[in-house]
Amino acid sequence: MIVCTRCSARNPDGRRFCVRCETFLEWDGEQVDEGQAPERVPPPPPEPDKRRRPVVAISIGIGLAVVLLAALAFFVLGGKSGPSITEVSFQGLSSNAVVVVRGKDLGVSAPAFEPLTSPDQAGSGCPPPSSGADTGHDFGPSALYLKDETRTWVGGYSPEPTSCVGLIVQAWGPTCVQFVFGSEYGDDRGIWAVHPGDSYAVEVRGASHTGAVTFTNSPGCQ
């Protein structure tokens, strides 16, 4: 009789593999006389460390709580993070610039301009419009404006009496806003005009974007 040294199973003489664990008996078998060695039962496998289970359960619970809170915030807020600007492009020339602002959640229509501080209102410190001229409007410091950081003037918002360029909105939608400048833009001194390379800042409904002026042939708002 051959006794398997791994699982203690008894195997008949001449068998090459253990009847219980299929161990190769020529390597892990012991030849004994029948009835000489009782069959041994292998010890049970060690139990897993139960002390780690509470830690794993707590980690899973925290992960589920984070996922649920994120899902609740997404549901309550409707998946929106507020207005944002992804691109600003300039079309035409410095003398007749068209500005196209692309982004998301910019609103379905243009905001009302501020009549008391608009450049085309008397008493604002800006020159009155000439006959048939459209000086544009002042939309306030957060609704819509463009600031030329290089030449230090602002269009659509008049923090100083010397910034008298209003904006004229040509198109407004949730993903695209297009505007031009009022008649005070590009005066003979060349101050109130954007030029290639000028640093600018644009703000639309609280979303801001900065960059350097580059005139392109990209399409406007459709």
CA distance 53 to 161: 71
pTM: 0.60
Stretch 19-31: mean pLDDT, rounded? 87
With H, G, I as helix, E, B as strand and everything else as coil, classify residue 62: helix
- Helices of type H across 95-172: none
With H, G, I as helix, E, B as strand and everything else as coil, classify residue 146: strand
Tokens 């195997």 — which residue? 11
212 pLDDT higher than 70: yes
Query: When comparing pLDDT for 39 and 14, which is higher?
Result: 14
pLDDT of 127 reads 61
| Beta carbons of 198 and 213 less than 8 angstroms apart | yes
Query: When comparing pLDDT for 171 and 68, which is higher?
Result: 171
Residue 27: band (very low, low, confident or very high) from pLDDT cuts 50, 70, 90: confident
The sign of the dihedral angle between the CA atoms of 194, 163, 134, 145 is: positive
What token pair was written down for 204?
A: 């639309």
All structural domains of the chain with their residue ranges: 1-46, 49-79, 84-212
pLDDT tens for 131-176 read 567 778 888 778 999 999 998 888 887 665 556 788 899 999 999 9
